[in-house]
Structure 1
Amino acid sequence: MKYHQIDRQLFIKNREKFTAQMKPNSVAIFNSNDIYPVSADSTLPFAQHRDIFYLSGVDQEESILLLFPDAPYENLKEILFLKETNEHIAIWEGEKLTKERAFETSGVKTVIWLQDFHKTLKEIMAYSETIYINTNEHYRASVDTETREARFVKWWKENYPAHKVEKSNPILQRLRSVKESEEIDLIQNACNITEKGFRRLLSFVKPNVTEYEIEAELIHEFVRNRSKGFAYTPIIASGNNANVLHYIENNQQCKAGDLILLDVAAEYANYSSDLSRTIPVSGRYSERQKAVYNAVLRVKNEATKMLTPGTLWKQYHLEVGKIMTSELLGLGLLDKADVQNENPDWPAYKKYFMHGTSHHMGLDTHDYGLLHEPMQANMVFTVEPGIYIPAEGFGIRIEDNVVVQESGEPFNLMRNIPVEVEEIESLMNA
């Protein structure tokens, strides 16, 4: 890992919060992700399953966390099962976690080598009545691949069919959506790395630079600041490419007079940041570009103020839609007839602003959180309105990451990243 070791007290607290919500005499099991093959002997870089990381801090493949708070013996209450390290692995791959290092990382005292998992589980199943299985129920999830977690659930049901079943996900959706202060610090670190990358770009961008050269500048800055890289596939969309919401080819030349919509951000210690900025290739916005940009910025600023405890996500988006409608009328993109005759299921403003304004973020860029429940203090959200005008050859999105506060306006984790037209122009022409 490139990041500094996280204090294990965070993971101890996370497990305590989870086990406090488990039913009596129950067991919860969490598996790491697979290492996914590409072809021949090639694999994709390993990315840890966020749930086992949230509960243990273990960032290693072939790992299992077992929680059994009502176990009859102390050594069975929390167990980490790890792939046993040896001299051969140390030479070819680098040493894996030892039992001592696993404890330092996670605070879990009982560490057992993975080959003894089934034997240990058989004993534990004899003591317990219920198992919590860990399914992915995120509202955006669409998974075609059978994961290690899914294979385990299938195996467990075949071998222990008499046990009751509960789901871990509803507990984790609530727990992971409300961040501990240590988590907010980690997200802040990811935002700070993102800021460094963005500032680097402002002096680099000029007419005829390519989108992929911009991508290269970012990854350079991210990695040199202990990030593994991008928190998500980067969007570097010049000109009309900005009107493709998930444009990721990043292979075009940036032309004088055009804008570049950047939706790019760093991760740090598996925690995400999520930034959008739109900058002028030539270092100056045209009057029309500036007018649209400032309209988006006003929507972002007003939307941010509404992210307060008790706010309902669905109602919040309706209110943001009203603000955006007013701005689009001011820009001449809508007229009163468009609004009067709009379809309530697809309001007129959706022609130019077709995506949502905010989503939870944290360990995942689109993080866990139950959208039908009111917002709470220490939830972290994006705020990312946009206006997309294919007929005029540009689109603008501006996005920050904010923490909901118990009172007052949300705290902007990206407060130091340039966003005003004048500051961006000044830095690009310094």
Structure 2
Amino acid sequence: MRYEPIDSTLFLSNRKRLNSLIKPKSMVIVLSNDVVPSNADGTLGFRQNNDFFYLTGIDQEESILILFPDFPDENLREILLLRETSEHIKTWEGERLTKLQATNISDISKVVWTSSFESILRKLVFEADQVYLNMNEHDGADWKFQSRERRFITEFQQKFPLHKVERLAPLMRQLRVIKQPQEIELMKRAIEISAKGFMRMAKFLKPNVREYELEAELTHEFLRNRSRGHAFHPIMASGSSACVLHYITNNNICKEGEVILLDFGAEYANYNADITRCLPVSGRFTPRQRQVYESVLKIMRLSRNMIVKGNTMDKLRKDVGKIVESELIGLGLLSKSDVERQDPDAPLYRKYFPHGISHHLGLDVHDVGSRYETFKPGMVFTCEPGIYIPEEKLGIRLENDILITQKGNIDLMENIPIEVEEIEELMNN
């Protein structure tokens, strides 16, 4: 892979912590993702199942992990199954992992080819009181898609109808939501690459540049720094497009006097960064643009201070809402009297700030984690307030990634320019 090798103790530790959560005499089966077809004989590329990667470090398709920590034969308590390679595969698709390479990556000594899966499954499954199977349980997932996991669940229940099946996803969410020190370092690397991309775009931007040219600059910087590419489809939204929250066309011309909203992030070793900055196309903010920008920056600073252990997403959202209301009144977008008379279940600020203030970040950009859970040390969140004024063709959003610690929090993007003076100096040097 493009990224530097990851110490296998991370994946060994992740498996040990999972084993401590499952019931006695349990078997766990985790599958890699599919290679998704596009058209004719093309594919959309491969992105590993994040739970599988979290437990193994293996970044290869057609792979399976079996865990059975209480199985009588110690040699069969951890098994990694890989697609068998051949000279034909090597010629057409390139190198695939050898068993020794897979052991070095995962710290799993028992590595076999996937052709052995059926025989191994039958040997183990009848000794298990329950079997943990995995599925994407993110509340934003497209559940109509028949993933490899969904197909396997159906197949398993048909073959072994009397076996009790347990949900693995809640346990993986419990583990993944608290980042280990090695994970934090990988996320910092993704952030570092993202920062380089931002600096490059800021120096490239000028009137009459097209949004996709900025995306190209960003992509170039990502790839040359060992990233596989974008953590998500980047938003390069100039002028009124900045008021479209998920604008990804990136086709318009950046015009003099406009502000462009840039929401992007690099992926590194499957871990993600998520950053938003706003740049004046002409190199200087107008007084009104600066006024709105400073309001959003103030909201961000105050919101960031609330992303600490013991808080909850619901309380954070409500407290930030009050700050946004105050700023919108100051900007002349809301009146104090209207706010005092508003329906508390339909606050007026939502017209100008319609999205959430934060989300978990990690192996997924919108990472696993319950929105009802109390914030704990080791969690990483975004902080992303915004104000969108379609009638002024102006949208401002700022976003940094925040690590919660025992003593407070750490802004992982504190060194990336965000102050008005920093932005203008960056663009004009």
Q: TM-score, normalised by structure 1?
A: 0.99
Following superposition, the deviation at residue 415 of structure 1 comes to 1.3
Distance (whole Å) between structure 1 residues aligned to residue 324 and residue 405 of structure 2: 24
Counterpart residue number, 1:417: 416
- Give the corresponding residue for 2:369: 369
In 2, Cα distance between equivalents of 1:290 and 1:428? 15
> For residues 165 and 220 of structure 1, what CA distance do their matches in structure 2 show?
46
Task: Determine the C-alpha separation between the residues in 1 that align with 2:360 and 2:7.
Answer: 24
Deviations 1:214-258 (A, max 9, x none): 000000000000001110011000000000000000000000000
Which residue number corresponds to residue 26 of structure 1? 26
The CA distance in 2 between the partners of 1:2 and 1:398, in whole Å, is 30
Deviation at 1:341, TM superposition (A): 2.2
Amino acid in structure 2 at the alignment position of 1:415:
E
- Alpha-carbon offset, residue 343 of structure 1: 2.0
Confirm whether residue 231 of structure 1 aligns to residue 231 of structure 2: yes
Aligned to 1:427: 426
Matches of 1:3 and 1:71, distance apart in 2: 35
> Is 1:65 paired with 2:65?
yes
- Identify the residue that residue 147 of structure 2 maps to in structure 1: 147
Structure 2, unpaired ranges of 5+: none
Gaps of 5+ in 1: none
Which secondary structure state, in structure 2, belongs to the residue aligned with residue 39 of structure 1? coil
The residue type equivalent to 1:65 in the other structure is L
Shift of 1:133: 1.2
Query: Displacement, 1:271?
Result: 0.3
2:81 alignment partner, SS class: strand
Measured in 2, the distance between the counterparts of 1:41 and 1:149 equals 23
What is the deviation of 1:414? 0.9
Q: 1:144 Cα deviation (Å)?
A: 2.1
* Local SS of the residue matching 1:38: coil
Alpha-carbon shift at residue 275 of structure 1 (Å)? 0.5
Tell me the SS of whatever aligns to 1:27: strand
Q: Deviations over 1:180-203 (max 9, x none)?
A: 000000000000000000001111
Measure the CA separation in 1 of the matches of 2:174 and 2:317. 21
SS at the partner of 1:37? coil
**Aligned partners of 1:185, 1:144: CA distance in 2, in Å?**
35
Q: 1:226-375, aligned counterparts within 5 Å?
A: 226-375=226-375
Shift of 1:425: 0.2
Question: Which whole-Å CA distance do the structure 2 matches of 1:147 and 1:233 have between them?
Answer: 21
Deviation readout 1:88-109 (Å, 9 max, x if unpaired): 1112111111110000000011
Bigger shift: 139-148 or 189-198?
139-148
Q: Does residue 390 in structure 1 map to residue 390 in structure 2?
A: yes
Q: Are 1:86 and 2:50 matched, yes or no? A: no
How many pairs align?
Answer: 429
Question: Within 1, Cα distance between the matches of 2:346 and 2:102?
Answer: 51
Q: How far apart, CA to CA, are the structure 1 residues paired with 2:345 and 2:124?
A: 52
State the Cα distance separating 1:412 from its structure 2 match. 1.0
Mapped partners of 2:129, 2:74: distance in 1: 18
Counterpart residue number, 1:210: 210
Shift of 1:346: 2.0
Question: TM-score with structure 2 length normalisation?
Answer: 0.99
Question: 1:363-383, CA deviations, whole angstroms, 9 ceiling, x for partnerless residues?
Answer: 000001112110100100000
Write the distance in 2 (CA, Å) between the matches of 1:225 and 1:268. 9
Q: Secondary structure at the match of 1:28?
A: strand
1:137-176 CA-partner distances (Å, limit 9, x unpaired): 1122223220011111110000011111111111111110
Percentage of matched positions with identical amino acids: 51
Q: Distance in 1 between matches of 2:132 and 2:58?
A: 20
Alpha-carbon shift at residue 41 of structure 1 (Å): 0.7
CA RMSD, 1 decimal? 0.8
What is the DSSP-based 3-state SS (H/G/I as helix, E as strand, rest coil) of the residue aligned with 1:355?
Answer: coil
